[in-house]
Amino acid sequence: MNATLRHVFLASLWRRRLATSLSLLAIALGVALGLAVQLIHAAALDEFGRGIRLLNGAADLQVLGSRAGFSDELYARLAQRPEVDQASPLLEIETRLPARDEPLRILGIDLFRIGAVTPSLLPVSANPDEAAPAAGDRLDALQSDALFLSPAASARLGLKTGDRLRVQVGTRERTLRIAGTVPAAGVGQALAVMDIAAAQQTFERIGQLTRVDLRLAPGVTRALAQARLAALLPPGVAVLTPDDAASEVLGLSRAYRVNLTMLAAIALLTGGFLVFSTQLLAVVRRRQEFAFLRALGLDRDSLWHGLLAEGAVLGLIGGLLGCLLAYLLAALAFAVIGGDLGAGFFRGIAPQVRVEPVLTLIYLALGVFAGLAGAWLPAREAARMVPARGLRAGDEAEVYRARPRWGMALGALLLAALICLLPSIAGVPVFGYLAVLLILAGAILSLPGATVAAMAMLRPGRSTLWRLARTRLAAAPGQTVVAGAGVVASVALAVSMAIMVDSFRGSVDDWLTRMLPADLYLRASDATASGYLDPESVARVAALPGVAAVRPVRFETLRLGETGGAIALIARQVDAGGGLPLVAGTLQPPTGPDQPYPAWISEAMADHLRLGVGDPLSLPLGARSHPFRVAGIWRDYARQQGSVVIEIADYRALTGDTRTNDLGLTLTDGTAPEPVMTAIRATLGEQLSEMILPGTLRAMILGVFDRTFLVTYLMEAVAVLIGLFGIGTTFAALATSRRKEFGILRHLGLRRRQIGLLLATEAALSAAVGVVIGLLAGGAIALVLIEVVNRQSFHWSMDLQLPVGLLLIFSLSLILLAALAARLSGAQAMRQDAVLAVREDW
Amino acid sequence: MLFIENLTKRFDAAFDRPLFERVSLTLAAGESVAIMGESGVGKSTLLNCIAGLESVDGGCIRLCETDLTTLDEDGFARLRRRDFGFVFQAFHLLPHLTLAQNVALPLWLLDRDDRTADARARVMLERVGLAPRADDWPRHLSGGEMQRVAIARALVHEPALVLCDEPTGNLDPGRAAGVLELLFERIQAAGAVAILVTHSVVAAGHADRILHLTQGGLIAAPVVA
């Protein structure tokens, strides 16, 4: 078998080099995309995990509050508990750096406590006047302006020991001195540390902490300590294990990672379909050869294994190429769009691509699997052939005589509809993805029946070519399956993604209209960073000429529910401007002294906490819990972890916090924004605030949206490209396999040009059936993506929008391309002499 | 050596009309027979039944004491690999193999190593007069040359039984005569049993015996030179 395998089977791959190359390319692209996504995520998660371990150190438990923090009296109480051996307080601040784009994460630490729990955060002082750093000097570290940078932060900011760094607090500037480094932070973590008292003083957070790391006394279990300590905590403060805290961020990015992985898998699946098409056509062309080999004594199993070996070799070589390409793509992605593929989950880390042997082997195996899966049916078809029939010329048509599979197709679609009703597993919409696969399977299974039905509906016509094409497809619907499987898969994917992305973008656009009703926006810093506007600043801005009204917004975080998960709090005027993009409830809830405060929760929060309109809700504000009632549920595309909107008047009354993050300005009629912007800069300082026009902000947000979907677009393009390869190679191979038939038609008087037209007509009809099925399947998959996958992954709803024009152009282009590919390949096939073509039939 | 008794083949298992029935034939080692008959009478089907490529509906076939009707598909495949040689009207040379490789193919299937198979194939090509073109491709050959390669391939593994289905059907009379002479000379030299199915009286004349296949069985016919 070895020599037979080499000379008969594997050599055939070399003989049909074009088809082999395209199959290899298809598998390579599918493997490359999938592995690249995994490599990027593995590197990012690895670096993120390293950062978490670095920041958590040897902590057994962490007491976490909101961004506003909690009183440091709690630290004193915790440190005295018998369950606690060591306690280390921290104040974590995202500080805005004037005239710089990225904020800096500063950790205020207790230098005398940190060594026992998180020694990797210990700073090392350096004397700037000496070439080599001196030994650590804790007294220097206690200075109120001393800041220590990690190597990554130092490189990013371009600062060294002795340099000065300006930080923003509210709308004022403070200057800190770079007093040394945090060497154990490594090159991937951009952060800084300073003494906790200095941090509290610098950032006006006297008496506040955001975290306390705990090491438990010997013999005390985490569960026991967690239960006992939780009882001591004020509302809005949670005690979590370090793993729970880390999984909050990982959980947010997981859905995005899984979605990209699934898209890559569909690209690989399309590659598998291309292998199927090329292998099946090769089997048709080599039918007599196989029959003859069977006559010579090649047994059924050897033939089956030989053909599977062809598929496996295709998958192996394609997989190897794909793995190489994946590492290149991953390196390119890190350089161009960052370690989170543009989604913004892992800020402040700088991961590097590393060789991942297990992942690489898994994707190599997936490449081989795609090759084997694509070769499976053709190999079975060849092995099932009766040799005595195969030896006769003209037996090729047998392969194309596919039976309609309506029952199986409908069964697959019905099952898909049913499993869509099932919930996600650990936040991953497993059944949604299975439904996508079932819809694809149902679509492909329906191809033979749909072809027969479509041909029956078409008028016979008077043109000979039309009649020949129509009768050929009606009698051999399997031809459409061969040509159309890849078309259906790629069209369905492209169409579903186009509908989903269009619906999403349209919904985001509508959301932005409602969320950005003002004429001009002013902010002291990013919502998470240290800048804010105090009431005086707000009043000065409101008093500027041309400003008709100001609408302040305050952003905070809250910890809610049994798990203490962090959600975003937005305090603003609710029933003003654009209101909120509600999906349920009202903007005008009943008011009165007996009524609880109204709150409008996002869809994600409603899903996480299983809340509906009218449900009571307790929000920890100002160290106390306050009764609220859910007045409405709204769409929030910005905060996947969940968010709640309350009236800013209620927020201020309950917390006493009068700071403002964002200020929406309504200008008086006829006032241009530019003079107002100039006046604000003059009032607040040149570099201490950011102003943006709603149009610019909208364009920026949609730009971020498009960047997030860049990888999606790329994968979609690859899948369509693979599908187009499929059309080209399929019709080229079909034309070659039917040379004898065309030779006979030439003998009967058809011209070469007419043969080309016949092929083009058949191709256009096959592609049209494939495209229509693909459009229907794509529409169904889009519904699953919107209603199941997105809802379960991101908790986002959106309004369905059909990009009709785009789909129409795409469909017609594919049909025309198929006709063109067939016409060109027909011309190639007809170069052979008609007499030679039919010689074996004499 | 080959013993066929009361062989019956129907058009379809559910369709009771026989294609042929009660076909009996005995051939000794080195003996050849030509089977003639009208188109559609089942000559090629008879060959396929003997080779196990089609099932039979009754009767018995024995080759060298082996009852072929008891063999399963794999058993038949092994037997064909070892003991059968085929010559077809359409040559069936594999276009991507050289002439030497085409001839070596049956030896590859018998797991002979490449070097032995190649040496043996070149010897066979020499015997059919194509040694200088051993490394050439089939597309460069004439019909007669292709059939000579097919004959070399049919005999390279020294089969006990050679089945020839219209071996000169694609050749002009001049070339056909040369190929037939070579075919029977080689078969005789190998001491194999040969069954030739043909419409050509001239081709049939090369065999030791000529039989006519009818619906009722095989009928002896006088040899026409």
> Are A295 and B101 a contacting pair at CB < 8 A?
no
Whether A743 contacts A826, CB under 8 Å: no
Whether A440 contacts A492, CB under 8 Å: yes
Residue A271 is assigned to a structural domain of this protein: yes
Number of domains forming the structure of chain A: 4
Whether B99 contacts B125, CB under 8 Å: yes
Residues of B in contact with A17 (CB under 8 A): none
- Copy the structure tokens of residue A163: 């340099």
**Domain range list for chain B:** 2-221
Domain boundary among A692, A723, A753: A692
Do residue A126 and residue A56 come from a single domain?
no
CA atoms within 13 A on the CB side of B116: 10
Q: Per-residue confidence at A319, pLDDT binned at 50, 70, 90?
A: very high
Annotate A480-507 with DSSP letters as a single string. Answer: HHHHHHHHHHHHHHHHHHHHHHHHHHHH
Chain A: residue whose CA lies nearest to B94? A289
CATH code for the structural domain at B2-221: 3.40.50.300
Q: Tell me the pTM.
A: 0.71
Cα angle for residues A396, A836, A19 (degrees, 5° grid): 55
* Top mean-pLDDT range of A244-248, A523-527, A699-703, B163-167: B163-167
Residues of B in contact with A1 (CB under 8 A): 109, 111
Interface residue B28 vs chain A (CB under 8 A): no
Report pLDDT for B143: 82
**Cα–Cα dist A668/A671, whole Å:** 6
Annotate A758-827 with DSSP letters as a single string. Answer: HHHHHHHHHHHHHHHHHHHHHHHHHHHIIIIIHHHHH---------HHHHHHHHHHHHHHHHHHHHHHHH
**Cα–Cα dist A320/A313, whole Å:** 10
Given a cut of 70, whether residue A836 has pLDDT beyond it is no
Residue A415 is assigned to a structural domain of this protein: no
Give the one of B45, B92, B113 whose C-beta lies nearest to A292's C-beta.
B92
Do residue A541 and residue A657 come from a single domain?
yes
Count of A-B CB contacts under 8 Å? 81
Cα angle for residues B194, B199, B201 (degrees, 5° grid): 80
Interface residue B102 vs chain A (CB under 8 A): no
Domain boundary among A240, A255, A277: A240
> Are A7 and B170 a contacting pair at CB < 8 A?
no
d(CA A289, nearest CA chain B) in Å = 7
Domain boundary among A350, A381, A401: A401
b/e map A593-613, b = 16+ CB within 10 Å = eeeebbbbbbbbbbbbbebeb
Cα angle for residues B17, B23, B29 (degrees, 5° grid): 150
> Are A3 and B108 a contacting pair at CB < 8 A?
yes
Q: What does the mean pLDDT of chain A come to?
A: 82
Report pLDDT for A133: 44
List all residues 6 or more positions away from B195 whose beta carbon is below 8 Å from its beta carbon.
Answer: B2, B27, B32, B33, B35, B47, B50, B161, B162, B163, B164
Do residue A705 and residue A775 come from a single domain?
yes
pLDDT tens digits, one per residue of A638-666: 887 889 999 999 999 998 889 898 889 99
Given a cut of 80, whether residue A369 has pLDDT beyond it is yes
> Are A299 and B54 a contacting pair at CB < 8 A?
no
**Where are the strands (E) in A573-679, listed by range?**
582-585, 597-602, 616-621, 624-634, 643-647, 662-667
Do residue A472 and residue A605 come from a single domain?
no
Residue A90 is assigned to a structural domain of this protein: yes
Chain B: residue whose CA lies nearest to A10? B96
Best A299, A305, A737, A740 member to test B by mutation, with max B CBs in 10 Å, is A299
Nearest to A18 by CA among A769, A807, A735: A735
d(CA B108, nearest CA chain A) in Å = 6
Whether A763 contacts A731, CB under 8 Å: yes
Domain range for A66 is 61-240
Cα angle for residues A805, A808, A809 (degrees, 5° grid): 85
Nearest to A493 by CA among A697, A723, A687: A723
pLDDT tens digits, one per residue of A393-415: 555 556 666 677 889 999 999 99
Choose the weakest-confidence range: A12-16, A189-193, A310-314, A315-319: A12-16
Residue A412 is assigned to a structural domain of this protein: no
CA atoms within 13 A on the CB side of A693: 10
- Copy the structure tokens of residue A790: 């997105």
Q: Per-residue confidence at A187, pLDDT binned at 50, 70, 90?
A: low
Asked if this assembly's ipTM is beyond 0.90, the reply is: no
Region A770-789 average pLDDT:
92
pLDDT tens digits, one per residue of A340-357: 555 555 555 566 778 889
- Copy the structure tokens of residue A199: 């941090």
Report pLDDT for B223: 46
Cα separations in angstroms, A452 against A89, A112, A286, A769, A772: 74, 81, 26, 10, 14
Site of tokens 């579903």: A496
CA atoms within 13 A on the CB side of A622: 10
Whether A66 contacts A81, CB under 8 Å: no
Do residue A535 and residue A506 come from a single domain?
no
Give the amino acid at A458: L
Report pLDDT for A132: 43
Do residue A737 and residue A709 come from a single domain?
yes
Given a cut of 60, whether residue A619 has pLDDT beyond it is yes
Residues of A in contact with B109 (CB under 8 A): 1, 4, 293, 296-298
